[in-house]
Amino acid sequence: MPNAENNKKKLFIKTWGCQMNVYDSRRMADILRPFGYEVSEEPEDADMMILNTCHIREKATDKVFSELGRMRRLKDKKEAEGGQMLMAVAGCVAQAEGDFIIERAPYVDLVFGPQTYHELPEMIAKLTGAYGQDRIVSTELDTQTKFDALPEENNKQGVTAFLSVQEGCDKFCTFCVVPYTRGGEFSRSVEQIVNEAKALIDNGAREITLLGQNVNAYHGEGKDGKTWTLPLLIEELAKLDGLDRIRYTTSHPRDMDMALIEAHRDIEKLMPYLHLPIQSGSNKILKAMNRKHERDMYLDIIADLRKARPDIAMSGDFIVGFPGETDQDFEDTMDIVRQVKYASGYSFKYSARPGTPAANMTNLVREDVKAERLAALQNLINEYQLDFNTKCIGMTMPVLFDRADKAGDKLHGRTAYNQAIHVPGPARLMGHSANVIITGAFANSLTGTLELQESVLKSA
């Protein structure tokens, strides 16, 4: 066992991209902690710097290279003073670009993908030790090995925590890099997940969000040795004392089966909120995207969900300007938003990604048309978001408080529908749920007052 006390080192991790990357960054810190690395919020003077990257759109990838240039100056400074700073690029850009990163930025010491970070201590030893290796690129895609090798969860994530249960994707939407950067679908065992959930709860978590690129395709080994699907896993986790809320993200419409829909009716701890991307409302575009479902199937799922849990809040992702998208195709997307009345939504301009089938498509949509469509879609989504929030005014809802402001008299929390809410109240409510009367609504948040306080005021 390495002796952490005698040899403290500073670790800086910068994270881009999805919640899976946020989860991975935390786990990298878990792995390195026993070797003396302590996470620092500042990159200056770090012994090890990790940029955990996202490859999903062109802009995301560009950010990495500009950040690398900036960080290089810190490395040069430290080396001029006789120190050493290891620079690593991790995550999905690392997986996709591999050696090319070192070619373009030769001062980078280490490039590793999302499935090899459990080997960080060995990689660091090779770079710093007697081996004298000066560069490492590690981009294997064996997900199972990683999860088996990760140390026990020992991080304080706070009141709301992420837990990775599934990784990778076999869907191969024609626009998307994820199947290439994360590999094929892999599900962790129920036992491993339950143990990690218990550790999170012991460290103060009251809400756990189960993560996966295709989380509802979950099919892990169950307690009985058989394959369990997501609703069974959720049922098992709902038994854990101390855990109040369960969420899961991101789901694919194809894997939204009846058992999962009914779990929203039957499992109280499962929150009435679902992020279910459709990407486009046009059947022609859905086909070109290889989404493997049509718009009606998506609308049917939502109808079933609303039958099972009438108040469920929906959220979605949309891409505008996919090759071949006409005004009518775009109208079909706007129409989906009007029909579903999303409580929240995320929309993006299509970005051609090298190596994906859509990157070779012709019939491209002009950038100015993409920008126009994006603005129109975002306006419409915002209207529905505000409408959903406004309808909450006057209602009383349980809110789980996850943050208090510095002065200790204002709280931040989330409603069951995942709305952010600001409430005046004492810091001791952090980590607890309390009923809140909703008093104000904005596009992205609510305000409210504690119900208890209200009744005390009334009786006074």
**Binding-site ranges for ligand SAH (CB under 6 A):** 56-57, 175-176, 178, 213-214, 250, 252, 277, 279, 317, 319, 348, 350-351, 353
| Cβ nearer to ligand SAH, comparing 28 with 211 | 211
- What is the C-alpha to C-alpha distance for residues 51 and 244, in angstroms, rounded to an integer? 33
Quickly list DSSP for 416-456: TT--EEEEE--GGGTT-EEEEEEEEE-SSEEEEEEHHHHHH
User: Which residues of the shown chain bind ligand F3S in the complex (CB under 6 A)?
Assistant: 17-18, 20-21, 54-56, 91-92, 177-178, 181-182, 213
Which of 48, 111, 173, 441 is close enough to bind ligand SF4 by CB under 6 A? 173
- Could you tell me how far CA 78 lies from the centroid of its own chain? 33
For the bound state, the minimum distance from the C-beta of residue 176 to ligand SF4, rounded and expressed in Å, comes to: 3
| Cβ nearer to ligand SAH, comparing 175 with 248 | 175
User: Residue 319 in 3-state DSSP?
Assistant: strand
User: CA angle, corner 200, sides to 199 and 204, nearest 5?
Assistant: 115
Binding partner selected for residue 55 from ligand F3S, ligand SAH, ligand SF4, none, CB under the kind-specific 5 to 8 Å limit = ligand F3S
For the bound state, the minimum distance from the C-beta of residue 277 to ligand SAH, rounded and expressed in Å, comes to: 4
Binding partner selected for residue 54 from ligand SF4, ligand F3S, ligand SAH, none, CB under the kind-specific 5 to 8 Å limit = ligand F3S
Q: Is 168 in the site for ligand SF4 (CB under 6 A)?
A: no
CA dihedral sign, ordered 425, 431, 432, 434? positive
User: CA angle, corner 22, sides to 21 and 27, nearest 5?
Assistant: 90
For the bound state, the minimum distance from the C-beta of residue 250 to ligand F3S, rounded and expressed in Å, comes to: 9
- What is the C-alpha to C-alpha distance for residues 170 and 173, in angstroms, rounded to an integer? 9
Residues 264-283 that bind ligand SF4 (CB under 6 A): none
| Cβ nearer to ligand SF4, comparing 47 with 185 | 185
CA dihedral sign, ordered 43, 48, 54, 59? positive
- What is the C-alpha to C-alpha distance for residues 252 and 292, in angstroms, rounded to an integer? 10
Binding partner selected for residue 188 from ligand F3S, ligand SAH, ligand SF4, none, CB under the kind-specific 5 to 8 Å limit = none
Residue whose CB is nearest to ligand F3S in the complex, by number: 17
Residues 209-228 that bind ligand SF4 (CB under 6 A): 213-214
| Cβ nearer to ligand SAH, comparing 32 with 178 | 178
Q: Which two tokens stand for residue 419?
A: 């709305």
| Cβ nearer to ligand SF4, comparing 176 with 404 | 176
Q: Is 171 in the site for ligand SF4 (CB under 6 A)?
A: yes
For the bound state, the minimum distance from the C-beta of residue 446 to ligand F3S, rounded and expressed in Å, comes to: 27
- DSSP symbol at 391: T
Binding partner selected for residue 179 from ligand F3S, ligand SAH, ligand SF4, none, CB under the kind-specific 5 to 8 Å limit = ligand SF4
Q: Is 169 in the site for ligand SF4 (CB under 6 A)?
A: yes
- DSSP symbol at 241: T
Burial bucket for residue 8 (CB in 10 Å: 0-12, 13-18, 19+): exposed
Pick the closest to residue 142 from 184, 96, 192, 170 (CA basis).
Answer: 184
Q: Is 131 in the site for ligand SF4 (CB under 6 A)?
A: no
- What is the C-alpha to C-alpha distance for residues 249 and 213, in angstroms, rounded to an integer? 8
Q: Is 179 in the site for ligand SF4 (CB under 6 A)?
A: yes
Residues that bind ligand SF4 (CB under 6 A): 169, 171-173, 176, 178-179, 213-214, 252
